[in-house]
């Protein structure tokens, strides 16, 4: 029977070394609970004593009962000038009172001489001393052999000697680190085989782990390769977030191990939660989730070309390497100028529109779609606009209001303050409406005026929010006279939806997207009421 692997997450420590990725203590606690729910075995909470936030985290997490995960504190071997029992770093690790501790030490001789500025034998001493001091005080003790692969290639005998002293100190697992991220997958087997041979020759069985960085875009591959070579402990971060180019991405490693390699670990039973957990971490870190990320990205199972869509509808295996549901993701059929009839029919079925493959309106919709995208419209992030396009083409879309005109004024005072005001004239059910509103910027003023004009007729608009607003300049060679595409994301308590507008005038493009957004909201509410929910 295959040994169960250990999955060790270091998002809260190594991940937070990434540029523009910062977590509060509350964020770290919430991520810990989410990773525990996912079934991660060990969660590295930070370096106690290194900063107040890490120390506070270890105090706060004690107030929660984790279902499966074990929290680990992280630190380094002792300072050569200190005895182990008097070293502040080691004392802080013990004071964190975690059931697991991970410390790192130097495996590369150049780091011993140039970074620590001590002798090679002195480094061996502090590795063994530090682990031996911690061993009686903790249930799980891991040793990260920093820069191991570079150290092995530079001085094999010394790198192996550092591992030997870690074993002598009582480490449960030796984690081989590709700290600079420069090792390639083809190098992993021979090096790990040498490590195995070194210990079996001494009659010892030692658990090995892998901690890879992604500077050569090989961290996931290196981690999977290490497991094939006997590693039973895998470290990484959610979404691969980490210093420089990032760490090994657990949201790619775990499905690879479970679904491709048939390996067992506790979280393997919960991979349907993986996409949710991945996006949760991005959200708390205030990062835009990478839509192109394997397995959990929004585009991971998105199909655009008509031929692909036709094949996927018959058998998803034709263009999907796994079922998206296995990792909590979904299949998406995109609408674009590459779309064929299959895309149109798929979307019609999704929207509840009765449209047969022989219906001439399919070609009419496809023709209009391609004409609009030729003008710069893009519906891949604006499916609400596309559904409205289809319904308008079929003559089934209700007109909730009619624009009679609008004006937006932007005025800068002598004191430098800028004020925007929008005035709008509408007709709702034959009744004229004329109103004005201020805003933070011209688009916000226009949005406020539109809602103000409509709220007496459609009070449910009060629960709708504009969540995101993006502007992209098209054909930039035209400078300030270029067309712009505006993408608006809106939402209410039930759902989120995207709409689009294109024009030479940014206000007009914004108006188009805003009108589609409100129209879509009113249409969906009407449909819900008609179906009694």
Higher pLDDT, 529 or 327: 327
- Start-to-end Cα distance in the chain: 51
Per-residue pLDDT band for 1 (boundaries 50, 70, 90) equals very low
Task: Give per-residue burial for 193-204: e unless 16+ CB within 10 Å, then b.
Answer: eebeebbeeeee
The predicted-structure confidence for 335-392, as pLDDT tens digits, reads as follows 654 556 666 777 788 778 877 777 888 878 877 877 887 788 877 668 899 889 888 8
The predicted-structure confidence for 180-230, as pLDDT tens digits, reads as follows 999 999 999 999 999 999 999 999 999 999 999 999 999 999 999 999 999
Burial of 358 (0-12, 13-18, 19+ CB in 10 A): exposed
Same fold, 6-284 and 402-530: no
pLDDT for residue 475: 63
Q: Which helix (H) or strand (E) holds 426?
A: strand 418-428
Check if CATH label 3.30.70.20 holds for domain 402-530: no
Chain centroid to Cα 110, Å, comes to 36
The predicted-structure confidence for 255-292, as pLDDT tens digits, reads as follows 999 999 999 999 999 999 999 899 889 878 878 789 89
Average pLDDT on 445-469 reads 92
Instruction: Quote helix, strand, coil % in the chain, to nearest 5.
Output: 45, 20, 30
Give the CATH architecture of domain 6-284. Alpha-Beta Barrel (3.20)
What torsion do the CA atoms of 261, 262, 265, 267 make, to the nearest 10 degrees? 90
The closest of 385, 389, 413 to 501, measured between CA atoms, is 385
Strands 402-412, 418-428: pairing kind? antiparallel
* Domain range annotation of the chain: 6-284, 302-371, 402-530
pLDDT for residue 97: 96
The predicted-structure confidence for 351-367, as pLDDT tens digits, reads as follows 788 777 778 888 788 77
Burial of 415 (0-12, 13-18, 19+ CB in 10 A): exposed
- Residue 411 CB: number of other CB atoms within 10 A? 9
Across the chain, mean pLDDT equals: 90
Q: Which helix (H) or strand (E) holds 427?
A: strand 418-428
Residue 31 main-chain phi, psi, to 5 deg: -65, -40
Within 13 A of 363's CA, how many CA atoms are on the CB side? 3
């Amino acid at each position: 029977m295959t040994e169960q692997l250990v999955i060790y997450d270091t998002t809260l420590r190594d991940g937070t070394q990434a540029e523009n990725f910062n977590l509060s203590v509350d964020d770290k606690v919430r991520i810990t609970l989410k990773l525990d729910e996912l079934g991660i075995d060990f969660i590295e909470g930070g370096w106690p004593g290194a900063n107040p936030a890490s120390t506070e985290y270890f105090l706060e997490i004690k107030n929660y009962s984790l279902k499966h995960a074990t929290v680990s504190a992280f630190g380094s071997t002792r300072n050569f000038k200190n005895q182990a029992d008097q070293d502040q770093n080691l004392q802080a690790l013990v004071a964190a009172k975690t059931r697991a501790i991970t410390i790192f030490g130097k495996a590369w001789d150049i780091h011993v001489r140039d970074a620590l500025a001590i002798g090679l034998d002195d480094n061996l001493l502090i590795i063994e001393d530090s682990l031996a001091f911690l061993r009686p005080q903790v249930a799980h003790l891991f040793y990260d052999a920093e820069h191991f692969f570079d150290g092995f290639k530079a001085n094999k005998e010394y790198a192996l000697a550092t591992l030997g002293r870690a074993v002598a100190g009582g480490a449960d697992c030796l984690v081989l680190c590709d700290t600079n991220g420069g090792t390639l997958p083809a190098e992993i087997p021979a090096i790990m085989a040498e490590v195995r041979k070194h210990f079996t020759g001494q009659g010892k069985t030692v658990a090995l782990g892998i901690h890879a960085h992604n500077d050569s875009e090989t961290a996931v591959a290196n981690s999977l390769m290490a497991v094939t070579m006997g590693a039973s402990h895998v470290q990484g971060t959610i979404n691969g977030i980490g210093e420089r180019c990032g760490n090994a991405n657990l949201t790619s490693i775990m499905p690879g191990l479970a679904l491709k390699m048939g390996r067992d670990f506790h979280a393997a039973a919960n991979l349907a939660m993986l996409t949710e957990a991945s996006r949760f971490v991005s959200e708390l870190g205030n990062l835009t989730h990478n839509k192109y990320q394997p397995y959990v990205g929004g585009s991971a199972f998105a199909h655009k070309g008509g031929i692909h869509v036709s094949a996927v509808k018959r058998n998803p295996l034709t263009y999907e390497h796994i079922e998206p549901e296995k990792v909590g993701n979904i299949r998406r059929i995109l609408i674009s100028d590459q779309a064929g009839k299959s895309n149109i029919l798929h979307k019609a079925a999704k929207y509840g529109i009765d449209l047969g493959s022989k219906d001439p309106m399919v070609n009419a919709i496809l023709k209009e779609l391609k004409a609009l995208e030729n003008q710069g419209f893009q519906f891949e992030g604006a499916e609400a606009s596309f559904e409205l396009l289809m319904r308008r083409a079929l003559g089934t879309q209700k007109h909730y209001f009619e624009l009679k005109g609008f004006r937006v004024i932007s005025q800068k005072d002598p004191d430098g303050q800028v004020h925007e005001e929008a005035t709008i004239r509408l007709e709702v059910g034959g009744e004229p409406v004329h109103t004005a509103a201020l805003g933070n910027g011209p688009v916000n003023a226009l949005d406020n005026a539109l809602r103000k004009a409509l709220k007496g007729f459609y009070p449910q608009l009060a629960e709708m929010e504009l969540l995101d607003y993006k502007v992209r300049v098209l054909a930039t060679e035209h400078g300030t006279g270029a067309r712009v595409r505006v993408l608006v994301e809106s939402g209410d308590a039930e759902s989120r939806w995207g709409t689009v507008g294109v024009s030479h005038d940014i206000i007009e493009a914004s108006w188009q997207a805003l009108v589609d957004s409100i129209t879509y909201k009113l249409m969906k509410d009407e449909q819900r009421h008609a179906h009694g929910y």
